[in-house]
Amino acid sequence: MSGFEGDARRRATSALHEEIGQALTALRANNAFVLRQTAARLDLHAAARDVEIQGAQIARSLHALLHPAPLPEEGGEESAQALQPQLHELLKNWQDSPRQLVCCRLEVRPAHLVLPRDLSLTLCRMIHAALQHIARQALTRPVSLSVRVADDEPAMLRWELASESLCLAASLPLATEGAA
């Protein structure tokens, strides 16, 4: 296989991994909602728990099968990605889709935050799942997305997606285990 074919295959595998991973993340977020709503119905709760376990197994299998090797041009600095343009594009695509969201406001601090590719992808998946949750609630008020390095804990990245009646938030470690 030529270098060009190998690069194309890795790119296709990476795109497939990201697309299916994003769908699985959304599925697992939806199932978490079902789990909370079915706590009183043991039969439904058990079925939702099985879906949760199967989703986790599929995610692990997918990662093992499709996790692409880094492309040669993705080494070093190039494997890091500026966060603000990615989130801007995610919100623009969401806002332009036939969903109920009226307006999305974005704040990233520091404005030129650059993250490793895997962390950036994880963050975008989480925010995408949160946007889907807001759309399910049929909220039509503007939403705001804030992503920032925590003032009180610089090793943490905090994000918050908020509307007038709902706020979804989480934190992610900026450094991975074993990182220098």
Site of tokens 């799942």: 129
CATH of 79-173, one of 3.30.930.10, 1.20.120.530, 3.30.565.10, 3.40.1800.10: 3.30.565.10
3 state SS of 117? helix
pLDDT of 72 reads: 35
Q: Is the pTM of this model over 0.75?
A: no
- Alpha carbon distance 94, 172 (integer Å): 23
- Here the tokens at position 118 are 């895997």
The model's pLDDT over 135-156, given as tens digits with 9 standing for 90+, comes to 776 656 678 899 999 888 888 8
The bridge status of strand 156-162 relative to strand 104-109 is unpaired
Burial pattern 69-82, b for ≥16 Cβ within 10 A else e, equals eeeeebeeeeeebe
- Alpha carbon distance 150, 26 (integer Å): 26
Query: Residue 67 — very low, low, confident or very high, per pLDDT cuts 50/70/90?
Result: very low
Instruction: Calculate mean pLDDT across residues 5-31.
Output: 74
**In the chain, what are the domain boundaries?**
3-66, 79-173
Q: Residues 14, 63: contact at Cβ < 8 Å?
A: no
